[in-house]
Amino acid sequence: MSKPQFPALSLFLAATTGRNMTRPAYIAVAVGVAMMVLLTVHPAYEAAHHWVDAVLWACLAFFVFEWAVRLRHAYRSQRALGYSFSFRGLVDLAAAAAVPVALIAGADPQSAWLIGVVWLLKLVPGIPGLRQLRRVLVLESGPLFSVLVIFLMVVFLSSVAEHFLERDAQPATFGSVPAALWWAVVTLTTTGYGDVVPVTPLGRLVAAMVMISGLGVFGLWTGILATGFAAETRRDNFLKTWESVSKVPFFADLGPAAIADVTNMLRTMDLPPRTMIIRKGQQGDCMYFIAAGEVEVDLPGKKVQLGEGAFFGEMALLGNTTRSANITTTRVSRLLVLDLVDFRLLMARHPELGQTIDAEATRRALENQ
Ligand code: CMP
C-alpha cells in the first residue's frame, strides 16, 4: 500500500470531516472575527488595511476549503443531502458563501465583511451543555411560557396605564400605546436607560410597580432555568456514573436499589495520565473507586499499582488523619469520587461495604508499618 504523500494534510482532512471544529478552525474563527472588528476601527484599519484584508481573505479561503472537504466527504458517503441541510452544513455554507455573495451583489467591502460574524456560528455545535440547555427549554417550556405570558401582560397593562397618565405631560414619548411600550419593556427588563421617565405622581407609582414586577418576572425565569439545568445535569451524571458503578466489582453484590443509592452519592471524574490525585499530608475529604485505568501509590521504598475495581483514599477518612501517600494516575483513568459526607452515609446505609473498606484500610496500614 502506498503511503500518503502529506500525512499532516491527511490527518487534517480526516479531522475536518470527522469532527465539528479542528484547532485551525478555532484559530480561523478567532482571527477572522478579530479582523472583522478591526475593520470598523478606522484609524487602526487605515494603518494596516492590506494586512487586515489579507487575513480576512485567508480566513474566508479556509472556510471555503473546509466546506468543500466536508461536502465532498458527504457526497462520497452518500449523505450529501443530509449534510447540506443539517445545522452544521448550513453554517458551513453560510461561513463560506455569505461574504462572497454580498461582495458579488455589490455591497461595499466594509459592510460585506461584517457578515463574517456568521463564522461565530461554527462554534455552536461544540458548546458543551447546549444539548442540556435545549432539553431544559423543552422540559420547562410550560412554566417558561407562563412567565412569558405574565411578562407580556404586565408590559401591556403598564403601557396602557402610562399612556393614560402621562400623555398630556409628555405627548412625544407617551402619546401612543406603542410609544409607551418602549418605556415598559426597558423598565420591566430592569434595563432602565432613563431616556423616557414618567413625571406625574401616579405615573411614577405605576413605574415603581413595574420595576418590582420586573425583578419578580426575571427572578422566575432564572429560577426555572437554573433548577431545570441542575436537574438535567443530575440526570446526566446519574446515567454516566451508573454505567461505571455497575462495572466496579466492589459494588457487584448490591441489589438494583442499593446501586441506585450508591450512584447518587458518587460523581465521575476523567483524568489524563500523570495527574496527581492525592498529595501526602493533605486533609482527606473524599475517597475514590477506579472504574477504568490505573493509579500508582507512592509509598516509602515502594510503589503500588491499583487497577480497575480498586479503591483508595479511604484511610484518611476512616482515621480522620491526613493523607498517607501521594497517588498519581499512570493511564487515562475514570474515577468515581465519594465525598466525605456521602462516605459517612455509605458506611451507615451499607455496612457490608463499610466492612470491606475497613478491612482493606487495616491491611494497608499493617503493610505500611
Ligand atoms: P489515604 O491515606 O487517604 O491517602 C493515600 C492512600 O493510599 C490511602 O488512603 C490508601 O487508600 C492508599 N494506600 C496506602 N497504603 C497503601 C498500600 N500499602 N497499598 C495500596 N494502597 C495504599
How many whole angstroms from 48 Cα to the centroid of ligand 1?
61
pLDDT of 147 > 70? The answer is yes
pLDDT tens by residue, 287-316: 999 999 999 999 998 999 999 999 999 999
Q: Are 64 and 96 in contact (CB under 8 A)?
A: yes
The amino acid sitting at 36 is M
The set of residues, in sequence order, having a beta carbon less than 8 Å from that of 120 and lying 6+ positions away, is 29, 33
Phi-psi region of 106 (alpha: psi -120 to 50; beta: other; left: phi over 0): left
Atom of ligand 1 nearest to the CA of 368: 18
Q: Are 26 and 63 in contact (CB under 8 A)?
A: no
How many whole angstroms from 325 Cα to the centroid of ligand 1?
6
258, with CB counted inside 10 A (0-12, 13-18, 19+), is middle
pLDDT tens by residue, 334-367: 999 999 999 999 999 999 999 999 999 999 999 9
Q: Average pLDDT in the 316-326 region?
A: 94
Ligand 1 pocket at CB < 6 A: 278, 284, 297, 299, 304, 312-316, 323-325, 327, 364, 367-368
Question: Which H or E element spans position 186?
Answer: helix 177-188
The set of residues, in sequence order, having a beta carbon less than 8 Å from that of 174 and lying 6+ positions away, is 162, 163, 165, 166, 167, 180, 183, 196, 198
The set of residues, in sequence order, having a beta carbon less than 8 Å from that of 150 and lying 6+ positions away, is 217, 220
Q: What's the Cα-to-Cα distance from 290 to each of 269, 275, 304, 319, 361, rounded to whole Å?
A: 10, 14, 14, 21, 16
The set of residues, in sequence order, having a beta carbon less than 8 Å from that of 282 and lying 6+ positions away, is 322, 323
Question: Which H or E element spans position 341?
Answer: helix 340-349
Testing ligand 1's pocket by substitution, the residue of 340, 363, 364 carrying the most ligand atoms inside 8 A of its CB is 364
pTM above 0.95, yes or no: no
CA pair distance 30, 7, nearest whole angstrom: 26
pLDDT of residue 5: 66
